[in-house]
């Protein structure tokens, strides 16, 4: 799942408007922000395998540190603790930690059985929604649309940038999503990690949006 995670981040603003949208995006996508780093370091592995699922050609061979249940649980607790140490806001810390964990839950629904429960076990889970392209599109776009709706209802622009930055991000995410789904697969595994690092720019975009909007 890609765009659905951003939908969860957008929706979280309705629950707690204290964290910036950038922070909400960072939490919701945190393990996918870590994953490219682990790929570059050689700690995790992916390969291109067209037909691996109907939805994506990526075969996630080994990613226990970023995507095992135990690993994500640790990251969610660490994320919450760091935020609490900086902001001293218990409610926001719990919500952010839950957002980190929500990523694994959504991945559990979409991935084929390639998600480890604990890093030192061979037992893998995944419900395989990615084997059904239309259903995946429907569910993920609905999550994204609902999250965008809640964010728009919860905040308002304080200047033109507040509208332009938000709508341009929503459009950009949709375009990238459909390009990834219906475009050609990457020519090799090498660029995947470096392309993945650009997701940090979307986090920065979230901070930019929230600087130009305020809670309703």
> Model confidence over 66-120: pLDDT tens digits?
999 999 999 999 999 999 999 999 999 999 999 999 999 999 999 999 999 999 8
Among 216, 215, 210, which residue's Cα sits nearest to residue 165?
210
Query: pLDDT at position 184, please?
Result: 80
Residue 181: predicted pLDDT: 87
pLDDT of residue 1 exceeding 90: no
Q: Which domain holds residue 35?
A: 3-215
> What is the predicted pLDDT for the residue at 73?
98
- What is the mean pLDDT of the segment spanning 160-182? 95
Per-residue pLDDT at 170: 97
Q: For position 25, what pLDDT does the model report?
A: 98
pLDDT at site 182: 87
Looking at every residue in the chain, the average pLDDT score rounds to 95
Terminal-residue alpha carbon distance, the chain: 30
pLDDT tens-digit profile of 184-216? 877 778 889 999 999 999 999 999 999 999 999
Q: For residues 41 and 193, is the Cβ–Cβ distance under 8 A?
A: no
Q: Does pTM surpass 0.85?
A: yes
> Over pLDDT 90: what percentage of the chain?
91
| Helix pair angle (3-15, 90-110), 10° resolution | 150
Mean pLDDT, residues 41-64 taken together: 93
The three-state secondary structure class of 156 is: strand
pLDDT of residue 51: 86
Beta bridge partners of 116: 124
50 pLDDT above the threshold of 80: yes
Give the total number of structural domains in the chain: 1
- CA 175 vs. chain centroid, Å, equals 16
Quote the CA–CA distance of 64 and 56 in Å, as a whole number.
Answer: 20
Q: How confident is the model at residue 38 (pLDDT cuts 50, 70, 90)?
A: very high
Between 51 and 205, residue with greater pLDDT: 205
Structure tokens at 195: 């392309």
């Amino acid at each position: 799942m890609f765009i659905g995670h951003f939908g969860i981040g957008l929706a979280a603003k309705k629950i707690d408007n204290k964290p910036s949208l950038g922070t909400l995006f960072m939490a919701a996508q945190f393990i996918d922000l870590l994953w490219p780093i682990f790929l570059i370091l050689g700690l995790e592995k992916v390969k291109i395998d067209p037909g691996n699922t109907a939805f994506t050609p990526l075969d996630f061979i080994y990613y226990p540190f970023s995507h095992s249940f135990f690993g994500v649980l640790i990251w969610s607790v660490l994320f919450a603790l760091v935020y609490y140490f900086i902001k001293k806001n218990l409610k926001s810390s719990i919500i952010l930690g839950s957002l980190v964990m929500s990523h694994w839950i959504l991945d559990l629904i979409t991935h084929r059985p390639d998600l480890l429960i604990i890093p030192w076990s061979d037992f893998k889970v995944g419900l395989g929604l990615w084997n059904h392209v239309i259903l995946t599109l429907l569910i993920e776009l609905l999550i994204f649309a609902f999250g965008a709706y809640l964010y728009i209802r919860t905040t308002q622009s304080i200047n033109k940038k507040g509208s332009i930055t938000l709508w341009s991000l929503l459009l950009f995410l949709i375009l990238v999503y459909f390009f990834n789904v219906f475009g050609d697969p990457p020519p090799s595994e090498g660029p995947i990690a470096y392309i993945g690092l650009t997701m940090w720019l979307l986090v920065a975009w979230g901070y930019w949006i929230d600087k130009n909007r305020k809670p309703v």
